[in-house]
């Protein structure tokens, strides 16, 4: 039997924010990895690293910060965003590959679940064909949000649709109009558009706004009661289903 290669890279799902939601495997990897790799905005400590701070504290000798060249300065799909971000992932992989060749094992920190809208995926698709790579699943942000909101999201045969708020408004309306339950993620500057789409789909009164679920500064309230359209990236809207209940 061919032995299974020992992982060099780990994509570690950290859950929605509270480190109490980490899995046993995630904690084991965090304790044993040579490097803690995390994404961040220039001049800021990333959310994923902040979660781990509450467990391990600052560990400068183990840390590798991958600093996004752009965040909200341009929109995905624009060359001013896609070009620099693609180059950033290539450069990040070159840096991490050099660490791997030096014999170090790396935990790449990811909010929520790494394979659910995670930046980790862009590194994984470049590095996994070359190095043993283990992805450690985590509690997704949306799962944490609907649990903390006390809002069961699907009942019976309800169909759940997950949408990024970055979609055009007409696409949001179309998809929201054809589902039983919904989660709209990546709100940020798109909240006003999402609110209009929910209204057009007849779902506004059921919508729940959740900001920074399980993180410091958590807010949960009916979207109709939110009197402004300001929202951070780590906010989402939940529309619980109304399906079969026994």
Q: Residue 99: helix, strand or coil by DSSP?
A: helix
Q: Cα 103 to the chain's mean position, in Å?
A: 29
CATH for the stretch 9-139? 3.40.1010.10
User: Residue 4: its pLDDT value, please?
Assistant: 56
122 in Cβ contact with 89 (< 8 Å): yes
137 in Cβ contact with 23 (< 8 Å): yes
User: Residue 79: its pLDDT value, please?
Assistant: 85
68-111 per-position pLDDT tens digit: 998 777 677 788 888 999 999 999 999 999 999 999 999 999 99
Distance separating alpha carbons of residues 148 and 121, to the nearest angstrom:
27
User: Residue 76: its pLDDT value, please?
Assistant: 75
Q: How many CB atoms are located within 10 Å of the residue 3 CB?
A: 5
Distance separating alpha carbons of residues 225 and 209, to the nearest angstrom:
9
111-133 per-position pLDDT tens digit: 999 999 999 999 999 999 999 99
Q: Considering only the top CATH level, what class is 142-239?
A: alpha beta
User: Residue 128: its pLDDT value, please?
Assistant: 98
In terms of Cα–Cα distance, which of 185, 188, 229, 224 is closest to 206?
Answer: 224
Domain coordinates of the chain in residue numbers? 9-139, 142-239
Q: How many CB atoms are located within 10 Å of the residue 68 CB?
A: 18
User: Residue 3: its pLDDT value, please?
Assistant: 54
Q: Cα 194 to the chain's mean position, in Å?
A: 19
The DSSP code for 44 is: S
152 in Cβ contact with 28 (< 8 Å): no
Instruction: pLDDT tens for the chain, 246 residues: list them.
Output: 545 578 999 999 999 999 999 999 999 999 999 999 999 998 888 889 999 998 998 888 999 999 999 877 767 778 888 899 999 999 999 999 999 999 999 999 999 999 999 999 999 999 999 999 999 999 999 999 999 999 999 999 999 999 999 999 999 999 999 999 999 999 999 999 999 999 999 999 999 999 999 998 999 999 999 999 999 988 999 999 999 989
The two tokens of residue 98 are: 């050099």
User: Residue 189: its pLDDT value, please?
Assistant: 93
User: Residue 70: its pLDDT value, please?
Assistant: 85
**HSE on the CB side for 97, CA within 13 Å?**
14
């Amino acid at each position: 039997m061919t032995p299974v290669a020992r992982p060099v890279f780990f994509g570690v799902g950290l859950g929605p924010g509270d480190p109490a939601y980490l899995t046993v495997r995630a904690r084991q990897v965090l304790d044993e990895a040579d490097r803690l790799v995390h994404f961040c905005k220039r001049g800021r400590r990333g959310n994923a690293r902040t979660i781990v701070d509450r467990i391990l504290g600052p560990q400068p000798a183990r840390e590798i910060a991958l600093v996004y060249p752009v965040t909200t300065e341009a929109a995905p799909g624009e060359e001013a965003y896609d070009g620099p971000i693609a180059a950033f992932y290539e450069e990040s992989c070159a840096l991490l590959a050099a660490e791997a060749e030096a014999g170090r094992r790396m935990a790449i920190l990811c909010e929520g679940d790494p394979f659910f809208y995670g930046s980790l995926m862009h590194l994984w698709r470049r590095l996994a064909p070359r190095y043993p790579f283990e992805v450690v699943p985590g509690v997704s942000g949306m799962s944490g949000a609907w649990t903390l909101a006390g809002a069961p999201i699907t009942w019976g045969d309800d169909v759940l649709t997950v949408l990024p708020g970055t979609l055009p408004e007409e696409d949001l309306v179309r998809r929201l109009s054809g589902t039983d339950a919904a989660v709209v993620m990546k709100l940020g500057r798109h909240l006003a558009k999402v609110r209009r789409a929910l209204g057009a789909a007849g779902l506004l009164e059921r919508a729940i706004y959740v900001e920074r679920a399980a993180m410091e500064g958590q807010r949960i309230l009916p979207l109709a009661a939110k009197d402004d359209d300001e929202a951070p990236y780590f906010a989402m809207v939940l529309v619980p289903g109304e399906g079969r209940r026994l």
